[in-house]
Amino acid sequence: MAKTVLIASGKGGVGKSTSACALGKALADMGKRTLIVDCDAGMNSVNVMLRCAERCVFNWYDVSAGQCEAENAPVQLSENLSVLAAPATALQEDASDAVRDTVLKLQDGFDFVILDAPAGLGRGLTRAANAAKTALIVATGDRVSVQAAATVANTLREKGFGELRLLLNRYDVRAAKRRNYLTIDEMIDLSCVQLLGIVPEDKKIMYSTVTEETPELVRSARAFRRIARRICGEDVPLKLSLLK
Ligand SMILES: Nc1ncnc2c1ncn2[C@@H]1O[C@H](COP(=O)(O)OP(=O)(O)OP(=O)(O)O)[C@@H](O)[C@H]1O
Ligand SMILES: [Mg+2]
């Protein structure tokens, strides 16, 4: 049975979909059979980032509505990486179990299911959270984003999530030195979530870390590899020097 990992955030645009793709790719490169599920109905990003949108004919809502067999819905991108799209338009109904029901049918075929949630606390989060057991909350280094991460973390705790971790994205060493950002300790204190990893600001993230073969020299790709190893249970120390 797959380990299910929800990728959530309070504020939008902090890098959830990017992280879902990069982590999915890192896990697949480690030999883990990985399914990335886009849970953002009407706002598919994962299949656009991974350049397979035209191949995504079915989505999880089609499966839950009985219009498609679960095993026919994901699109396989490589030996270990598959993508399941969200519906192309916003849903008018709650469909709160649609993602969970689909994931339950698919999870025996995967080691990891990564669920890319929409930002915030709405029913899109509930739909994605219902399908997951662990969560990674993404935030950038500003107070608003970290405060919002704390709110999402509390909401997920109320839903029964035990394993919550923080992914600090777009960390900029120079901005941190100028004190334009919170310190890492302040972020952990304010969010009340244990830090899993830090991903640096990296202009090459879309073209190298997410889309192309992962080059060893790309900083964000290295960061996601370390985070993927931690998700797999390896003890990989945080090395701030590697972010420079
Ligand atoms: N570490 C990074 N360095 C530089 N740019 C980044 C980084 N992470 C994400 N970005 C950029 O930030 C933008 C938003 O990323 P993304 O779409 O993944 O955010 P999101 O949280 O999924 O947004 P939404 O809330 O709308 O779903 C994209 O242009 C992406 O390339
Ligand atoms: Mg997104």
Q: In this model, does residue 34 exceed pLDDT 70?
A: yes
Residue at 244 is within a domain = no
Q: What is the mean pLDDT of residues 227-233?
A: 96
Q: Which ligand is nearest to the CA of 119?
A: 1
Residue whose Cα lies nearest atom 25 of ligand 1: it is: 12
**pLDDT value of position 162:** 86
Quick one: pLDDT band at residue 31, thresholds 50, 70, 90?
very high
Within 13 A of 230's CA, how many CA atoms are on the CB side?
20
pLDDT digits (tens, 9 = 90+) for 194-229: 999 999 999 888 766 666 665 566 888 899 999 999
Residue at 146 is within a domain = yes
Of the candidates 146, 139, 144, the residue with the CA atom closest to the CA atom of residue 168: 139
**pLDDT value of position 181:** 80
User: In this predicted structure, which of 19-23, 117-121, 193-197, 216-220 has the lowest mean pLDDT?
Assistant: 216-220
**pLDDT value of position 129:** 97
Quick one: pLDDT band at residue 60, thresholds 50, 70, 90?
very high
**pLDDT value of position 8:** 98
Within 13 A of 128's CA, how many CA atoms are on the CB side?
32
Mean pLDDT of the chain: 91
The helix/strand/coil state of 50 is coil
CA of 117 to the centre of ligand 2 (A): 7
- For a pocket test of ligand 1, which of 17, 18, 205 has the largest count of ligand atoms closer than 8 A to its C-beta? 18
Nearest atom, ligand 1, residue 199 CA: 1
d(CA 163, CA 70): 27
Domain interval for residue 223: 3-231
Strand boundaries in 18-154, DSSP class E: 34-38, 75-76, 81-84, 112-116, 134-139
CATH of the domain at 118: 3.40.50.300
CA of 124 to the centre of ligand 1 (A): 18
Residue at 177 is within a domain = yes
Q: In this model, does residue 90 exceed pLDDT 60?
A: yes
d(CA 47, CA 155): 28
Q: Which residues line ion ligand 2, judged by CB < 5 Å? A: 16-17, 45
CB 44 within 8 A of CB 36: no
Q: What is the mean pLDDT of residues 77-105?
A: 94
Please indicate whether residue 41, judged by its CB atom, sits closer than 6 Å to ligand 1: no
Nearest atom, ligand 1, residue 171 CA: 1
Please indicate whether residue 16, judged by its CB atom, sits closer than 6 Å to ligand 1: yes
Nearest atom, ligand 1, residue 13 CA: 23
CA of 65 to the centre of ligand 1 (A): 31
The helix/strand/coil state of 220 is helix
Rounded percentage of the chain residues whose pLDDT exceeds 70? 93
**pLDDT value of position 173:** 80
Please indicate whether residue 42, judged by its CB atom, sits closer than 6 Å to ligand 1: no
CA of 38 to the centre of ligand 2 (A): 8
Residue matched to tokens 């919170």: 182
Long-range contacts of 212-220 (CB under 8 A, 24+ apart): 214/25, 214/26, 214/29, 219/243, 220/22
Q: In this model, does residue 76 exceed pLDDT 90?
A: yes
Strand boundaries in 9-92, DSSP class E: 34-38, 75-76, 81-84
**pLDDT value of position 104:** 97
Q: In this model, does residue 101 exceed pLDDT 60?
A: yes
d(CA 40, CA 46): 9
Of the candidates 44, 54, 55, the residue with the CA atom closest to the CA atom of residue 21: 44
**pLDDT value of position 241:** 56
Residue at 67 is within a domain = yes
Q: Edge-to-edge strand order for the sheet containing 3-8?
A: 75-76, 81-84, 34-38, 112-116, 3-8, 134-139, 163-171, 194-200
- What is the domain count for the chain? 1
Nearest atom, ligand 1, residue 9 CA: 21
CA of 225 to the centre of ligand 1 (A): 18
Q: What is the mean pLDDT of residues 142-167?
A: 95
Within 13 A of 233's CA, how many CA atoms are on the CB side?
3
Residue at 13 is within a domain = yes
Residue at 141 is within a domain = yes
Q: In this model, does residue 132 exceed pLDDT 90?
A: yes
Please indicate whether residue 227, judged by its CB atom, sits closer than 6 Å to ligand 1: no
Q: What is the mean pLDDT of residues 133-145?
A: 95
Please indicate whether residue 215, judged by its CB atom, sits closer than 6 Å to ligand 1: no
Residue at 185 is within a domain = yes
Residue at 239 is within a domain = no
**pLDDT value of position 235:** 94
